[in-house]
Amino acid sequence: MLDYVPGYFRRRQHIRETLACTCGEHIVTAPGPDHSVEGARYGDSFRAFVVTSKCADAIPLYRQAKMIGRLGIPISRSTLTDLFHQAAGQLAPLSKRLLELVAASEVVQADETSLKMLKPNKRGFVWTFLAEILTFFGSFKNQPIGAFAVAAGLVIAAIALASLFRRVLFGLPNPDAPGVSDASLGETWYLALLAGALLWVGLFPSGPKLPGTDTPLFDQGLVNVLAAGISDISSPYTGATPSPTP
C-alpha cells in the first residue's frame, strides 16, 4: 500500500542568551543561526521550495500561495515574490559564472521558450544553454559509472581505429596482393594533413576568426555568398535563365 503524507511547515524559535560581566562594561549575545539573508523571517529551505516549485515544477507564485494557505500558513503572493527575488540575488554570481563558461565553449546547444509578459504586454523568451564541456564534467558528477563507461568506450574505439590504420597502411604485405606496397612518404604526408584538418574541425568547429574580429572566417553568411556566386557562375551551363537587368 502506498500512502501520501503531505508536506508541512515548522516554526523554529531560537532563544539567544545574553550575558554581561559584573563590571557592566561587556555584554555578549549568543550568535543566531546561519542564514543567507540576515534578519529574514523565512529560512533558506523555504526559499529553495519556492524557487523549485516556480522554476522546476512551473507552479506560479499565486498558486503556491493557495497551496501554502491550505496548510494553515497564510502568505501573500508579494511575499513569495520577494523571497524569489532574494534567491535570485543570492544565485546571481553562479548564473554569471555559468554564462561565462557557456560563452567560452566552442559548441553550445540552445533551446528557446516564449512566455507572455505582463509589463510590457509582449512575449519574452527564456533560453536554455547546454555546453559540451559542462555536460562532460556534469555527467561524471551525476552518473560516474555511465560516464566512465562512455569515456572508456571512446578510448577503446580510438585505439581500435589507430590499430586498424597501422595494420592497413603499415602492416605486413598481403600475400594475395603482392603488387601493393606500403604507403609512401608522400601518401603519409597527405594523410597526416587530412587527419590534422579533421582534428582541427573537431576541436574548433567555429574555425579561425577574421583578423581583428571575433567573426568566424567560415560563417554562414560567407558560405551563402560563396554558394550564390557559384550558382551565378554555373547558371549559364545548367540552363538557368538569368534575371533581367532593370
Per residue in 193-226, pLDDT (tens digit) is 888 887 777 776 666 665 666 655 555 454 454 4
Instruction: Please state the pTM of the whole predicted model.
Output: 0.52
Residue count of the chain: 246
Q: Are 70 and 100 in contact (CB under 8 A)?
A: no
Q: Are 73 and 9 in contact (CB under 8 A)?
A: yes
At 59 the pLDDT is 92
At 60 the pLDDT is 92
Residue-averaged pLDDT of the chain: 77
Q: Residues 204-213: contacts with CB within 8 Å, 24+ apart? A: 204/106, 205/106, 205/107, 206/106
DSSP 8-state code for residue 42: S
State the amino acid at position 246 in one-letter form.
P
> What is the pLDDT averaged over residues 64-92?
91
**C-alpha closest to that of 57 among 69, 70, 48:** 48
Distance CA 157, CA 147 (A): 15
Q: Which pLDDT tens digit goes with each residue over 7-50?
A: 888 888 888 888 888 887 788 888 877 777 766 788 888 999 99
At 231 the pLDDT is 45
At 223 the pLDDT is 47
Q: Residue 93: is its pLDDT beyond 80?
A: yes
Q: What's the grid cell of residue 99?
A: 554564462
> What is the pLDDT averaged over residues 68-83?
90
